[in-house]
Amino acid sequence: MKSSSSYVSPNGPFCQSKLTFLSVLTACLLATNVTVWGQHETTVPQNAYGRNKISLNGNWQYFVDRYEAFFYDFVRVPFDSSAIGKRDFAALDGRAKDKTDRYEYSFDGAKELKVPGDWNSQVQELLHYEGSIWYRKLFDHSDLPIENKLLLYFGAVNYRADVYVNGKKAGIHTGGFTPFAFDISELVKSGQNSLVVRVDNKRAKEAVPTDVTDWWNYGGITREVSLIKLPNVYVQDYQIQLNPENLKELLGYVELSTEYTGPVTIKSEELGLWITLDFNNQQKVSLKKRINKPFVLWSPEHPKRYDFELSVSEDRITDKIGLRTIRAEGNQLLLNEKPIFLRGICAHEENPLKGRRNTSKDDALQLFKWVKDLNANYMRLAHYPHNEHMPRLADSLGILLWEEIPVYWTIDWTNKETYHNAEKQLSDMISRDHNRSSVIIWSLANETPNTEDRLVFLKKLAKKARSLDQSRLLSAALFKQNLGDGVYTISDPFAEYTDVVSFNQYLGWYESTPEVLDNAYFKFDKAKPVIVSEFGAGAKQGFRGDSLTRWSEDYQNDLYKRTLKFLDRIPNLVGFSPWILADFRSPRRQLPIIQEGWNRKGIVGQNGTYKQAFYTLQEYYNEKNKKR
């Protein structure tokens, strides 16, 4: 038995010994629902993507903990609550201190998983695994100058991460698609360090997303892990964009890690800008500056980005930012004050060729190659925030983006923790991407049934989104309602709270057969732009038949042709995004021979071959683009 006197609470003061057993237990269990928790949590610095980082990507050792034997004891008390003191978590890196130690697990000699990466596609037996896996990475570190900070940054972990550095708990994060960070300055030591992460991807009713979705629940450390070294005063956040009311003026702010007195500079040589913001015992100062030089507005045709450099004291960070405005006026969508039509497509963050989560820039480029071939100028990144390569590349390639959070189908609307979790994911997505010119729409929900509780939940989310970013549009993928005689509308009360009215519709697939589209009309009397956020049909690539043979490319193609005509009859339509770019894995889709665990609504097959509908849409977009 290890001595408890040397034991340091992994969970910080919250779980220290003066608390009673019960309160410790309650506190520790409560932690399962919160988004970030633990005394070392810290805000992710703006543009973590562009900072100098020490990568911890690569091979990590792991073991599968199907019965959670390393997290809970036999009466389901978490081990890492110190008052219970069942285990010295200094041994969490899985190595015995001496030969008298009884230990039943070890990372030494354990197999390895690649980070970033999902575990499902890396190990055959883990394809369907949903549960806990423990990961370890050893890394070397030399002492930090006392005035420096060391952040441990995760691009995303699905779904819950319990993070330990040298046996001490850094914290917990829940939510599978957004970045998080811990300040581990006080946890690291000179020499070899051990980083252990327990990843748990079990689905839960109260989680966001909830337990029922139509995509693969890839588990693991799916995005990059790195160390970020920062001076004490650093640029925590900034926003730089055009003033929507004056296209010659920059608007924004700079926020520092702490209150500060002194100058902060923002430089852009190409724009001829050298701005000094004087901080006077302040943490955040706003920015407003006229651009006197002529410059190129960012657009899909000219995705011009300008280099900006921000510096304060010893900190310096650079970013490439496109300058544009977006707003809705009446039935129109105005990009840089000119009407734009969104020639779109939906996508999951998945590589169909490899049957796994996207992890790299190359994976993202693969999706963009198809999107560019389609002559699209817009993507809906469904149904959760995608990795940061997507908005970065979209900025450089001139693709407009809709980003969304996984408030999908049946969220636990009345559960406070569920709301808190959704709001945190929304804030983290907005905060990560609020300098990306490609992102024009934040979407708050997908196909959520119309109830009073859901309206309360979504209204609160919309209010939050508007408080964080007034420069982009809000939307949600809603359901249409049938008025009879082939006329459809949106009567969802949440449409009042969005800037763009969007709806998913599956006429000809889930409802009837494609000819129903020939007499379908959409009517929406309010002066708002309309986006059709989904339509589509399943087709097995290479399977041919006539236009009424379900699952054939011909059926899908016929549905596309008829849907495109139906869409042309929608007066307020400013764009659409068919479902979906490529076939994707989904456990809901088990039709033998045809589906085999894949949703086949892609217009690109699992092997990368274009289906007939791809060419139909491509031709439509070519024509649409000519008419611009």
Query: Which tokens in the block code for residue 270?
Result: 């190409």
Site for ligand GCB in 446-475 (CB under 6 A): 446-447
- Cα of first residue to Cα of last residue in the chain, in angstroms, is 75
User: Out of 469, 534, 553, 554, which residue is the one contacting ligand GCB (CB under 6 A)?
Assistant: 534
Query: Would you count residue 504 as binding ligand GCB (CB under 6 A)?
Result: yes
Distances 177 to 107, 237, 362, 575, 617 between C-alpha atoms, Å: 27, 20, 19, 26, 30
Gyration radius from the chain CA atoms = 25
State the minimum distance, in angstroms, from the CB of residue 183 to ligand GCB.
37
Output 174 or 599, the one with its CB closest to ligand GCB.
599
Q: Does 601 bind ligand GCB (CB under 6 A)?
A: yes
- Residue nearest to ligand GCB as judged by C-beta position: 214
Per-residue x/- marks for ligand GCB, 356-395, CB under 6 A?
Answer: ---------------------------x------------
CB of 357 to ligand GCB, least distance (A): 16
List helix spans (H) across 59-126: none
- Scan residues 432-451 and list those touching ligand GCB (CB under 6 A): 446-447
Q: Does 535 sit near ligand GCB (CB under 6 A)?
A: no
Instruction: Tell me: does residue 404 bind ligand GCB (CB under 6 A).
Output: no
Q: Which of 89, 234, 279, 579 binds ligand GCB (CB under 6 A)?
A: 579
Is residue 311 a contact partner of residue 292, using CB atoms and an 8 Å limit?
A: no
> Does position 599 bind ligand GCB by CB under 6 A?
yes
For residue 131, the surrounding DSSP H or E stretch is none
What distance in Å separates the CA atoms of residue 164 and residue 171, rounded to the nearest whole number? 7
Q: Which is nearer to ligand GCB, 164 or 384 (by Cβ)?
A: 384
Closest contact distance (angstroms) between CB of 500 and ligand GCB is: 17
Cβ-Cβ contacts under 8 Å for 346 (sequence gap 6 or more): 379, 380, 382, 533, 534, 577, 578, 579, 580, 581
Q: Is 163 exposed, middle or buried, given 0-12, 13-18 or 19+ CB atoms closer than 10 A?
A: buried
344, 579 in Cβ contact below 8 A? no
* Closest to ligand GCB by CB, 380 or 562: 380
Least separation in angstroms between residue 214's CB and ligand GCB is: 4
Interface with ligand GCB includes 214 (CB under 6 A)?
Answer: yes
Lookup: tokens for 196: 């252990």
Nearer residue to ligand GCB within complex by CB, 250 or 476: 476
Q: What is the greatest pairwise CA distance in the chain?
A: 80
**Shortest distance (Å) from residue 373 CB to ligand GCB:** 22
Question: How far is it, in rounded angstroms, from Cα 70 to Cα 92?
Answer: 9
Burial zone of 607 (CB within 10 Å; 0-12 exposed, 13-18 middle, 19+ buried): exposed
Does the footprint of ligand GCB cover residue 120 (CB under 6 A)?
Answer: no
Using the minimum distance from each CB to ligand GCB, give the nearer residue, 389 or 480. 480
Q: Write down the least CB distance from residue 328 to ligand GCB, Å.
A: 23
**Residues contributing to the site for ligand GCB (CB under 6 A):** 214, 383, 446-447, 504, 534, 579, 599, 601
